[in-house]
């Protein structure tokens, strides 16, 4: 069993950034990796060695001044694969539980599972905006809604479209994103989740042939405040009378601004409880 | 929406042969990066390369634990050891000689690594490689 030692120091992110910039040229072969992570107020640099390092040596080659703390510990012998998955725990949002392939068995009784691997696209559920949308959608379902036409605008991983497909078997569901990589991942996720009926395509906002003239009973739009504001007239126009849009991706301080624009577009806006400073709004066309 | 970057991990990974055992496991595991996903993606990206060649890899980790990675060419020391047919550089460069490489070999290595070297032209890049050779205790012959 190979043993490893971890040397750790803390400082400002930029300062540690300067240190790692030259690290690869000066480190001995026994240093097998480094990692630099933001930990809120401070950043942390770890250097991992496969022989016990001499701290004075490390200070010298890495150029770490005496004013900075430097500690060394023998790394415990861990099941690293298991540990790496512990940070990717399933997430619940309303009726839905999002999980990675390694957690297939972890979906609680009565919850609807959605399998999403952490990949380049946004939307693993480890974020308040996605959860906010899933909760708002679950509440709609609880109130008896069953929209027949759904658009997931800015679909990322298509998590919201998949949630819709799993609960609205008769609905027509479209998922679009400005980012082609996200659309590829969306199609793959739809296949994995047994919801291949979802149409995934690349589009900027509602500007796309497949969206022209179409009306929806439900639109998900988890984008960003600015994009949501720009898209407000188009989104309002793409809603059926009585149709709803779930808006997310806006911070608490942006809520009033976004609300105003949607009200001006003729919608009635309801605010959901914020999650970690992220707001979700449900806007209804009269 | 741009995802928030939590940090970076830098390590060398053998081309086409990443697996969860050390040093990959400890480096990624302690940061909650999905080791299996990384190995799969890395091996797919490097499958055309010479298997086992050490690839300097920088992984960017986002706050939702998803990641992207970039790969560079193997370090000069890898090519130099191969050219000199030795396992290790000298432990006391300058006083003991571990082996030798020719200028022509340095030039070949400079070509292979050119995009990652901070050099204006091939001559300058060749000089950088020859410098690395000397600092490993290799003799550079004409
Ligand atoms: C916050 S993510 C949401 C992902 C997923 N719907 C979720 O709820 O987790 C926002 C997505 O919107 C996409 N996007 C940004 N601007 C857009 C636009 N103008 N039109 C369509 N998609 C856009 C981004 O590429 C990104 O994938």
CA distance A167 to A189: 16
* A83 shares contact with chain B (CB less than 8 Å): yes
- Inter-chain touch B31–A224, beta carbons under 8 Å: no
Q: How far is A122 from chain B (nearest CA, A)?
A: 7
Give CA–CA dist A30/A23, Å, rounded. 13
Q: Does A23 touch chain B (CB under 8 A)?
A: yes
Residue B89 has pLDDT above 90, yes or no: no
Ligand 1 centroid to Cα of residue A36, in Å, is 28
CB contact under 8 A, B34 and A100: yes
- The tokens describing A263, both together, are 């009200």
Fold of B76-141: Arc Repressor Mutant, subunit A (1.10.10)
Beta bridge partners of A271: A281
Tell me the CATH number of domain A126-285, given options 3.40.50.150, 3.30.365.10, 3.40.50.720, 3.40.50.300: 3.40.50.150
Helix-, strand-, coil-residue percentages of chain A, each rounded to 5: 35, 30, 35
β strands within A213-259, DSSP E: 216-222, 239-251
CA–CA distances in Å: residue B9 to residues A11, B56, B58, B100: 17, 11, 6, 34
Give me the residue spans of the domains in chain B: 5-71, 76-141
Rounded Cα distance between A74 and A52, Å, is 8
Q: Using an 8 Å Cβ cutoff, are A253 and A274 in contact? A: no
| Chain B nearest C-alpha distance from A27 (Å) | 12
Residue pair B71/B55 in contact by the 8 Å Cβ criterion:
yes
Best residue in A7, A35, A221 to probe B by mutation, most B CBs within 10 Å? Answer: A35
The DSSP output letter for B115 is G
By Cβ distance, the residue of A2, A88, A249 closest to B65 is A88
CA distances from A238 to A202, A231, B5, B58 (A): 18, 11, 34, 43
- CB-based contact (8 Å) between B36 and chain A? yes
Query: Number of residue pairs across A and B with CB atoms under 8 Å?
Result: 121
State the pLDDT at residue A103.
Answer: 80
User: Does A211 contact ligand 1 (Cβ within 6 A)?
Assistant: no
**Any ligand 1 atom below 6 A from CB of A128:** no
Probe ligand 1: pick from A121, A177, A231, max atoms within 8 Å of CB?
Answer: A177
- Single pTM value for the model: 0.65
Does A18 reach chain B within 8 Å, measured CB to CB?
Answer: no
Tell me what pLDDT residue A138 has. Answer: 98
Q: Are B29 and A81 inside 8 Å of each other by CB?
A: yes
**CB atoms B34 and A124 under 8 Å:** no
Q: What is the mean pLDDT of residues B122-133?
A: 92
List of chain A residues with pLDDT < 70:
1, 83-87, 119-120
CB contact under 8 A, A38 and B36: no
The label of the residue with tokens 């000069």 reads: B76
Chain A residues 235-274 with a CB less than 8 Å from chain B? 249
Mutate to test the interface with A, among B22, B41, B74, B78 (most CBs of A within 10 A): B22
Sign (positive or negative) of CA dihedral B105, B107, B108, B114: positive
**Residue A161 burial (10 A CB sphere; 0-12, 13-18, 19+):** buried
For the question of an ipTM over 0.90, the answer is no
Instruction: Give whole-number Cα distances, A39 to A45, A188, B61, in Å.
Output: 10, 33, 13
CATH assignment of A5-77?
3.30.70
Decide if B3 touches A, using CB distance below 8 A.
yes
pLDDT digits (tens, 9 = 90+) for B25-46: 888 887 888 887 888 788 888 8
pLDDT > 90? residue B51: no
Matching fold, domains A5-77 and A126-285 = no
Q: Looking at the predicted structure, is the pLDDT value of residue B10 above 90?
A: yes
Mean pLDDT of B85-97: 71
Q: Does A122 touch chain B (CB under 8 A)?
A: yes
Total residues belonging to chain B: 142
- Write out the H or E segment, with its range, that includes residue A30: none
Structure-derived torsion over alpha carbons of residues A104, A110, A111, A115, reported in degrees to the nearest 10: 30
Q: Cα(A208)–Cα(A218) distance, rounded to whole angstroms?
A: 18
Identify the CA nearest to A34 among candidates B139, A42, A53: A53
Lowest-pLDDT range of A92-101, B22-31, B101-110, B131-140 = B22-31
User: Do B76-141 and B5-71 have the same topology in CATH?
Assistant: no
Q: Is A187 in the pocket of ligand 1 (CB under 6 A)?
A: no
What's the 3-state SS for B74-86? Answer: CCHHHHHHHHHCC
Q: CA angle, corner A234, sides to A233 and A237, nearest 5?
A: 85
C-alpha A85 to ligand 1 mean position (Å): 26
Q: Are strands A71-74 and A172-177 parallel, antiparallel or unpaired?
A: unpaired
Q: How many CB atoms lie within 10 A of CB A276?
A: 11
CATH number of the domain located at residue range(s) B5-71 in this protein: 3.30.1550.10
Ligand 1 pocket, residue A243 CB under 6 Å: no
- Which token pair is A104? 């297939």
Closest Cα partner for A47 from A68, A208, A67?
A68
Per-residue pLDDT, B94: 63
Q: For residues A231 and A46, what is the distance between their CA atoms, to the nearest angstrom? A: 44
How many other CB atoms are found less than 10 A from the CB of residue A5? Answer: 17
More confident residue, A190 or B50: A190
The domain ranges of chain A are: 5-77, 126-285
């Amino acid at each position: 069993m190979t043993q490893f030692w971890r040397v750790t120091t803390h400082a400002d992110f930029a300062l540690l950034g300067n240190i790692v910039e030259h690290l690869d040229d000066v480190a001995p072969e026994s240093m097998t990796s480094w990692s630099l992570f933001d930990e809120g107020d401070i950043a942390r640099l770890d250097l991992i060695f496969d022989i016990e390092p001499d701290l004075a040596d490390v200070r010298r080659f890495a150029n770490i001044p005496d004013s900075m703390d430097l500690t060394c510990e023998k790394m415990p012998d861990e099941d690293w694969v298991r540990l790496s998955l512990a940070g990717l725990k399933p997430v619940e949002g309303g009726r839905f539980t999002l999980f990675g392939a390694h957690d297939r068995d972890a979906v609680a009784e009565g919850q609807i599972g959605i399998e999403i691997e952490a990949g380049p696209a946004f939307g693993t559920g480890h974020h308040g905006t996605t959860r906010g949308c899933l909760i708002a959608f679950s509440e709609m379902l609880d109130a008896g809604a069953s929209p027949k036409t759904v658009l997931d605008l800015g679909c990322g991983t298509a998590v919201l479209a998949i949630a819709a497909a799993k609960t609205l078997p008769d609905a027509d569901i479209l998922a679009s994103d400005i980012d082609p990589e996200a659309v590829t991942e969306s199609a793959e996720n739809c296949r994995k989740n047994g919801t291949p009926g979802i149409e995934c395509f690349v589009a900027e906002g509602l500007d796309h042939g497949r969206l022209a003239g179409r009306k929806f009973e439900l639109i998900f739009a988890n984008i960003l405040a600015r994009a949501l504001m720009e898209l407000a007239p188009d989104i309002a126009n793409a809603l059926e009378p009585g149709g709803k849009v779930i808006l997310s991706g806006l911070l608490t301080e942006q809520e009033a601004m976004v609300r105003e624009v949607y009200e001006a577009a003729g919608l009635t806006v309801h605010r959901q409880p914020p999650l970690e400073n992220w707001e979700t709004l449900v806007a209804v066309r009269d | 929406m741009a995802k928030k970057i939590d940090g970076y991990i830098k390590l060398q990974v053998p081309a086409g042969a990443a697996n969860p055992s050390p040093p990959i496991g400890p480096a990624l595991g302690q940061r909650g990066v999905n080791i299996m996903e990384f190995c799969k993606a890395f091996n797919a990206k490097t499958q055309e390369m010479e298997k086992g060649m050490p690839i300097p890899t920088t992984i960017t980790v986002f706050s939702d634990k998803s990641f992207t990675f970039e790969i560079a060419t193997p370090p000069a020391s890898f090519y130099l050891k191969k050219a000199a047919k030795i396992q290790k550089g000298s432990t006391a460069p300058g006083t003991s000689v571990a082996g030798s490489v020719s200028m022509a070999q340095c030039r070949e290595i400079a070509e292979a690594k050119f995009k990652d070297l901070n050099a204006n032209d091939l001559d300058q890049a060749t000089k950088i490689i020859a410098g690395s050779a000397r600092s490993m205790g290799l003799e550079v012959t004409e």
